[in-house]
Amino acid sequence: MTLRVTKRKTTKNMMPAVEKLAGVDLSECYQCKKCACGCPVSGHTEAPPSEIIRRLQLGAGDDILNSDIIWTCSSCETCHARCPMGIDMAAVMDALRILAVKRHAPTPKGDIPTFNRAFLKTVNIFGRTYDLAMIAAYKLRTATVMKDMHKLPAMLKKRKIAVLPPRGADKKTVKRIFDSIGRKKGIRQ
């Protein structure tokens, strides 16, 4: 029997693009793993944050954009606070999310990008998060309008969800921030 070993095709090294977007120098990471030890989600993902950096250092291509931690990272900044080299891992995750959306990478964790977009859209429009609009936008985009609807009356009764849009937000300033970041990073909201 002949065993054929073929060299795996790799795409372009992603590290420079991530470093540019995140404003970090990933070569400074020396794999102490303090970030991974403090990360609240790394135990539920395939690869902890330190491994993502190591893979980037080793020349990972587009396949790194399929990593589930990109979408489970809560941007809590614990890793950044613990890192002896001051590497802003939350910014790295943001950069990977932007690249994943731009390159239409598959998302391992359901509809998290759709949820993110629905959340940001409502903040952009109302100046603050507006749960009811966000849920409606998410459900329409994922065709899950009736799912969990039985929970709505109880949530409204307990005031877990506000019926009316938030008041008092500085909409103009928030919109200006969105526009400015969108222009800078080439994102369409």
- Is residue 89 involved in binding ligand SF4 (CB under 6 A)? yes
- CB nearer to ligand SF4: pick between 85 and 169: 85
Question: Is 13 within 8 Å of 21 (Cβ atoms)?
Answer: no
Cα–Cα distance measured from residue 103 to residue 154, given in angstroms and rounded to the nearest whole number: 40
Cα–Cα distance measured from residue 67 to residue 170, given in angstroms and rounded to the nearest whole number: 36
Q: Which stretch binds ligand SF4 (CB under 6 A): 32-40, 60-68, 114-122, 159-167?
A: 32-40
- Is residue 127 involved in binding ligand SF4 (CB under 6 A)? no
Q: Is 175 left (phi over 0), alpha (psi -120 to 50) or beta?
A: alpha
Contacts of 50 (CB under 8 A, 6+ apart): 29, 31, 32, 33, 35, 36
Q: How far is CA 80 from CA 36, 74, 75, 76, in A?
A: 11, 13, 10, 9
- CB nearer to ligand SF4: pick between 78 and 137: 78
Minimum Å gap between C-beta 128 and ligand SF4 is: 22
Site string for ligand SF4, 43-82 (x = CB under 6 A): ------xx--x-------------------xxxxxxx--x
Minimum Å gap between C-beta 59 and ligand SF4 is: 17
Cα–Cα distance measured from residue 57 to residue 61, given in angstroms and rounded to the nearest whole number: 11
Q: What angle do CA 170, 176, 99 make, to 5 degrees?
A: 125
Minimum Å gap between C-beta 29 and ligand SF4 is: 3
- CB nearer to ligand SF4: pick between 75 and 189: 75
Minimum Å gap between C-beta 88 and ligand SF4 is: 9
Cα–Cα distance measured from residue 58 to residue 52, given in angstroms and rounded to the nearest whole number: 10
Q: How far is CA 121 from CA 94, 130, 151, in A?
A: 17, 10, 24
Which one among 33, 55, 109, 141 touches ligand SF4, defined by CB under 6 A?
A: 33
- CB nearer to ligand SF4: pick between 99 and 137: 99
Which one among 10, 11, 27, 31 touches ligand SF4, defined by CB under 6 A?
A: 31
Binding site for ligand SF4 (CB under 6 A): 29-35, 38-41, 49-50, 53, 73-79, 82-85, 87, 89-90, 93
